[in-house]
Chain A
Amino acid sequence: NAGVMQNPRHLVRRRGQEARLRCSPMKGHSHVYWYRQLPEEGLKFMVYLQKENIIDESGMPKERFSAEFPKEGPSILRIQQVVRGDSAAYFCASRGETGIFIGGYNEQFFGPGTRLTVL
């Protein structure tokens, strides 16, 4: 049972280029979350998606950032015209459906992250 997969693990871009980060959730999981972690800082929520729908994007910068989770394929976090301040670790997490049998707890499982460096 493969865990959450993210690729690439490391991504280097020059200012102005585009970055595409991919996340494949755990098998059977339809909920995906993206987080950003700056060096020496905590996780910051960016966006929550369920298949083909954006549920909550309150943590996403208004410009240059977008996310999708198509019916088929991985979730994509896209950053256009990257700037140095975008350099961070981007983590994806997935979860299954909350059910009464697990007491309503909806644990998130994290992928290994993509470390983006903008030169």
Chain B
Amino acid sequence: GAGVSQSPSNKVTEKGKDVELRCDPISGHTALYWYRQRLGQGLEFLIYFQGNSAPDKSGLPSDRFSAERTGESVSTLTIQRTQQEDSAVYLCASSLGTSGSHEQFFGPGTRLTVL
């Protein structure tokens, strides 16, 4: 594929519902990152995957947030029992790895609105 894709592009949900966000990284990219951007705030790191290594979950804000990645392909970010403060744009990025140019390529994001 041409670039990082994310789905859905927009998601409106009710407080307390679970949501699942999807990221398809660039083929061959071993590293995958999730970030979020809340209104009026900078981007925050959430979680990082690199190959078969244990993910770096240090940015997840609560145990309601979890993410999985199948090998070096698709990743899903799940938010359980959504709260209004979870409303944000969730961005996925992939890179060839953490060595070399390590440029991160970003998807268009998923805008999540929790009513």
Is chain B found bound to chain A in the same assembly?
A: no
* B residues at A contact (CB < 8 Å): none
